[in-house]
Amino acid sequence: MHLYEVLRRPLVTEKNAVLQMEGKYAFEVAGGATKPQIKQAVETAFKVKVTGVNVMTMPGKERRVGRRHVRTPSWKKAIVTLGPGDRIELFENV
């Protein structure tokens, strides 16, 4: 998997805004991405030092489309911890 395919999008929520104060940032990542791939992708894309990566699979939700109940697909979320003094400017003005 190419490094530019690993990170899908940053996750901007209230809970993640609180995590940013601790130097942690959340991303939606590719389903087949591993922790070392995620670490390398963040370090390459944002020029920061990553000290830890936590990965979790978020289950899909049940939705209604007319009379039918459909399930949205599951996706993978990564919380990346940066070294002291490092910041990602993409998140700061949101």
Residue 24 lies in a domain: yes
Cβ atoms of 40 and 24 within 8 Å: the answer is no
Residue 41: give the domain boundaries: 3-83
Cβ atoms of 25 and 79 within 8 Å: the answer is yes
Report if pTM > 0.85.
Answer: yes
CATH number, domain with residue 48: 3.30.70.330
Residue 31 lies in a domain: yes
Residue 91 lies in a domain: no
Residue 90 lies in a domain: no
Residue 37 lies in a domain: yes
| pLDDT per position as a tens digit, 31-83 | 999 999 999 999 999 999 999 999 999 999 999 999 999 999 999 999 999 99
Cβ atoms of 63 and 22 within 8 Å: the answer is no
Query: What is the DSSP code (8-state) at residue 78?
Result: E
Q: How many domains does the chain have?
A: 1
Residue 88 lies in a domain: no
Distances (CA, A) of 60 to 6, 8, 71: 20, 17, 6
